[in-house]
Amino acid sequence: MSTGLIALLDDVAALAKLAAASLDDVAAQAAKAGSKAASKAAGIVIDDAAVTPRYVVGFAADRELPIIGRIASGSLKNKLLFLLPGALLLGFFAPWAITPLLMLGGAFLCLEGWHKVSDLLGRGQQGAGGDADGDGLSDADEGKTPEVLEQERVGSAIRTDFILSAEIMAITLATLTGLTVWVQAAVLALVGLGMTVGVYGAVALIVKADDFGAFLARTGHGAIRAVGRGIVLGMPIFLKLLSTVGMVAMLWVGGHIVIHGAHELGLTAPEQWVQALTDRVRAAVSAAPGLAAWVARAALDAVAGLAVGALVAPLVAGVLAPAAQGARALWVGRKA
């Protein structure tokens, strides 16, 4: 009896050690995949953090954090309930499709970056529901109750997040080669959770920073009051800077994904050309050659991303967007 109990305890201890080792492996893989995904998805993450605060513009201050919480909850559902199972199925049944899908996501980033550059140069068009008056409310928003407007804003943010989250999960999946499906699932879940908490935690801090600054300016004295005023005055500049960094990062990351994906599919000339120019810069710069090569590569990828966005924009505007509108109208007509 005692011998059986000891054997059972030995088995339990062995299983515990195995589970601990598995958890350590998952944590290590999650950290590794997360760092790779974060570096490759920098444009997505920065743009998400820069764009999301716009969804709370025009609402009362006490609704800002609840709205961000609802968007974060929807983002987590996107990642865990829809994208994670989809990514696992894709990796199991059609791993060959990961690179083309990553390239499509990269082209989407290039397109978004191209639109931002066009808007910056005054050549873009005001999108539906855009801020026409600078107060976060478009003509279509006028007359709506705050509850309806909040519901529409949250839904729009979650739909946009779905596309960005899909790219993050696909980038993460591409780093998880040679692992079991359960480890892949655990790593994807951890990365998705970490990305969501990181992005929307940062968004919450950004959104409430001006309120915090106003509080310091109102209640503080001397240097503290000056800091509060500086925060209030500096936040609009910070948001514009963040938006610009996001725009550049989207072009850089999108261009890199497209070029690298083309290389994976056999079109090696663009990757070789960019790498050759990067190597020349590394050889020509004596001080911090690694940094110079990284900046050169990022700049070349951004230029390539801008070119891809310019090529994709007419296709989307002239073909894909009308087709999507027609399909939506057909669906609405059937439901009616």
User: Which tens digit of pLDDT belongs to each residue from 4-50?
Assistant: 444 544 444 444 444 444 445 555 655 555 555 555 566 667 767 77
User: Which tens digit of pLDDT belongs to each residue from 129-149?
Assistant: 344 344 455 555 666 787 888
The answer to whether the CB of 111 falls within 8 A of the CB of 309 is yes
Q: Output 318 or 128, whichever has higher pLDDT.
A: 318
Task: Kindly report the backbone phi and psi dihedral angles of residue 38, in degrees, each rounded to the nearest multiple of 5, phi listed first.
Answer: -65, -40
Pairwise CA distance, residues 300 & 290, whole Å = 15
The answer to whether the CB of 293 falls within 8 A of the CB of 275 is no
Please, where are the H alpha helices in the chain? 2-40, 42-51, 61-77, 84-93, 98-120, 146-174, 181-219, 223-264, 269-284, 289-315, 321-335
Q: How far apart are the first and last CA of the chain?
A: 72
14: in domain: no
User: Which tens digit of pLDDT belongs to each residue from 294-314?
Assistant: 999 999 999 999 999 999 999
Statement: residue 66 has pLDDT above 80: yes
250: in domain: yes
How many domains does the chain divide into? 1
* DSSP conformational letter for 111: H
- Among the ranges given (14-18, 109-113, 180-184), the one the predictor scored with the smallest mean pLDDT: 14-18
pTM for the structure as a whole? 0.72
Pull the structure tokens for residue 243. Answer: 């938006």
3: in domain: no
Statement: residue 126 has pLDDT above 80: no
Q: Output 142 or 243, whichever has higher pLDDT.
A: 243
2: in domain: no
12: in domain: no
Q: What is the pLDDT of residue 33?
A: 54
Cβ contacts of 262-267, under 8 Å, gap ≥ 24: 262/103, 264/99, 265/99, 265/100, 265/103
Statement: residue 222 has pLDDT above 50: yes
Statement: residue 185 has pLDDT above 90: no
16: in domain: no
Q: What is the extent of the structural domain holding 63?
A: 25-335
